[in-house]
A = this chain, B = another copy of it.
Amino acid sequence: MAVAEAGDMDSLQVDLGSRSYPIYIGQDLLDRPDLLQPHIHGRQVLVVSNEIVAPLYLERLQASLAGFDHRSLVLPDGEAHKNMATLERIFDRLLEQRFNRRCTLVALGGGVVGDITGFAAACYQRGVDFLQVPTTLLAQVDSSVGGKTGINHPRGKNMIGAFHQPNAVIADTRTLNTLEDRQLAAGLAEVIKYGLIRDAEFFVWLEERMEALVARDPAALAHAIRRSCRNKAEIVAQDERESGIRALLNLGHSFGHAIETGLGYGTWLHGEAVAVGMLMAARLSARQGWLPAADVDRIRRLLQRARLPVTPPDLGADRYLELMAVDKKVQDSGLRLVLLRAIGDARVTTEFDTGALRQVLDGG
């Protein structure tokens, strides 16, 4: 993985052999046809966005697609629409327009738009090209790297999907200026996650610079995005199909998915659920004797400074366990969790005390 600086833009390569792709990070990259167009191989382009993002950025992106046969599809906003019915709308549109297998889909929006558009690209005519233009911090640091795409099922999140790598990711940091505070915080949860699982130095940097991030300082944001993407890209390059080390990226996610499903999709944002989930994982780690209580406090304080929730919703331990049992991370061998040996050192384990887990699930 190479990191090259070029004026106000960074680029970073995700190394996946023939499926390698660049991530561009910088200001006003939406207006850069020189970045987008080399990654489009056919003539037909469908930009998929949502009703919040499209009025802000669709026109600028379309201007960068001049010369292509480009169309757009604007979806309703929100996780509740990341489902089969919305997926079918994309297929219907592609077929109405007679898009062929050389077409390119462009996702302009947050994680929901990226996941569903990527999955549509994975399945349309058994796989077409796909570009990510993430406009939320969460999407820029998380879903834009790794090729996971998919939709939700009433019985579980991301239960239906595919691994499908984009041709390129274009992260325009200027788009974060229009992001709601709550969405920014949700993105910061995943940023903090990279510090927790494998980058203690970055965690310390976040402790120093959290107020700058919350204030949307452009240099601080660019650094956080770059460092997050690099951490994720290094993991994904080692484990594209999530058979081993990649599971560390699920820190907080087993708890978080249970919260999202238990409360109904969209009540809590994904990042909010992950934030509390990471704290729950830290608490269980402390109960195991893996993590000092002082570090649990450091994590809680950093999440609070990022304006993230730190109190789990009271679903009751039984309901939590029921919801976690259907989670993808459950193997035949029983519940697997990502826990912390230290800040910056996460481990996947099935070795934990069920009583301690129940105490954590009950808010302890």
Contact = CB atoms under 8 A, between A and B. Distances in A.
B162 A122 contact: yes
A355 to B, nearest CB: 24
Contacts of A150: 123, 126
B162 A95 contact: no
Determine which residue in A92, A155, A158, A332 has the highest number of CB atoms from chain B within 10 A of its CB, and name it: A332
B332 A42 contact: yes
Contacts of A241: 127
Interface in A236-257: 241-242
| Number of copies of this kind of chain in the complex | 2
Given A91-B153, A125-B159, A102 B325 contact: no
Contact of A123 (B101, B161, B332): B161
A115 to B, nearest CB: 11
A84 B92 CA distance: 12
A325 B98 CA distance: 8
Interface in A151-181: 153, 155-156, 158-163
A188 to B, nearest CB: 26
A239 to B, nearest CB: 13
B123 A162 contact: yes
A242 B155 CA distance: 35
Interface centre among A42, A122, A123, A150 (most CB of B within 10 A): A123
A91 B160 contact: yes
Interface in A181-238: none
A319 interface: no
Contacts of A124: 159-160
A148 interface: yes
Contact of A332 (B100, B153, B161): B100
Contacts of A123: 123, 150, 160-162
A155 B44 CA distance: 18
Contacts of A156: 95
Contacts of A163: 126-127
A161 to B, nearest CB: 5
A125 B153 CA distance: 11
Nearest to A125: B328
Given A84-B88, A126-B150, A148-B126, A102 B159 contact: no
Contacts of A88: 84
Nearest to A333: B102
A153 B101 contact: no
A326 interface: yes
The 4 A-B residue pairs with the shortest CB-CB distance, nearest first, are A95-B155, A126-B161, A123-B160, A98-B326
Interface of A: 42-44, 84, 88, 91-92, 95-96, 98, 100-102, 122-127, 148, 150, 153, 155-156, 158-163, 241-242, 325-326, 328, 330-332
8 contacts: A84-B84, A95-B153, A95-B155, A100-B330, A122-B162, A124-B160, A126-B162, A127-B162
